[in-house]
Amino acid sequence: MSAKALSLLDNISGSISIVGSMNADYTVTADRLPKPGETISGGPLRILPGGKSGNQAAAAARLGANVNIFGAVGSDANADFLISKLNDAGVDTSHVRRTQGASGTTVITVDAKGENTIVYSAGSNATVDNAYIESQKDVLLKSSVLGLCLESPIDTVTATAKLCHDAGIKVLLNDSPFTDKLPDDLIKYSDILLVNEHEMAQLLNIAEPKNGDWLGMDWNYIAQSMHEFGFDEAIVTLGGDGAIVIDPNRTYHVNAAKIDAVDTTGCGDAFMGTLLAGLASNFSLEDSAALASYVAAYAATSYGAQASYGTTAQIKAFFSEAE
């Protein structure tokens, strides 16, 4: 880990608002992922705190950012569990709404290589509507950056992006769960897009490399296509190959941190949360992405999403020892 990235970890500040999902993750490990219609044996079931927005909030807060999360939990036992875990991470949950019914859940299977499959059930996340966002307007507009994903109703996501964008707050959109049908207004009111390489290819209708060599692709052409799609700034994550940062003038390659992955669940959310923390701290997009690659890699060294996220001290110690 570079000295510069280490120093960035010591300078996290700023205020972040995250609007979206909180889920209980029902996670089981197996030697391999099951094929369609197949039953295989797995290890013990773990119930862990998750949800893309909850994960992103926890990751940013553990780094020292001031994070408010907005969304809804249900009336089940998972609701208190999710709130308590976010509070433990340092997230301000005082604006989360309680609704009747089930909280959001995901069912996750993880194989011996750390790869996973995820099935999402929205539950209370589906109740996060425009009226709720309007009721939280005063608090939302006190932040310096807004994080959004697509586990909440798309109309609510779009309205929140407009509210904050119009107030001069930078909006970072994670197109996940992925859709290639982003509303025009959501594109218009989002400043930065975060996608992985496969999502980028689908979004821009670009063929994937047959040899898997994503770094060998024409990234200047991809950047131009991204600009034409509506985003002057974007980050495309490439798994073990790092990430490509696109800005209005050029593209940058950010190396991935090399680790032995145990479970990749929630690593993308750790990356997103770190981007938010970096942007709130007035770091450049490139520096924020470089830092995010290490925070996300640390998360892959243990099981779960929020349960695997490190503090500044833990992440610095891990990579200092690795060197």
Q: Would strands 251-254 and 243-246 be described as parallel, antiparallel, or unpaired?
A: antiparallel
Domains of the chain: 3-23+51-102+125-322 (3.40.1190.20)
Distance CA 86, CA 62 (A): 10
Tens of pLDDT, residue by residue over 81-140, are: 999 999 999 999 999 999 999 999 989 898 988 888 888 899 999 999 999 999 999 999
For a pLDDT cut of 70, what percent of the chain falls above it?
98
Q: What is the per-residue pLDDT across 130-173, written as a single tens digit (0 to 9) for each? A: 999 999 999 999 999 999 999 999 999 999 999 999 999 999 99
Residue 73 DSSP label: E
In this model, does residue 321 exceed pLDDT 80? Answer: no
Each residue's pLDDT tens digit, 245-294: 999 989 999 998 888 888 888 899 999 999 999 999 999 999 999 999 99
Q: Which residue has the tokens 């927005």?
A: 53
According to the model, what pLDDT value does residue 37 have?
94
pLDDT for 298 equals 93
- Model pLDDT, residue 165: 98
Model pLDDT, residue 1: 44
Q: Strand (E) positions, the chain?
A: 15-19, 23-29, 46-50, 66-70, 72-73, 97-98, 104-110, 116-121, 145-148, 170-174, 192-196, 233-237, 243-246, 251-254
Confidence band, pLDDT 50/70/90 cuts, at residue 4: confident
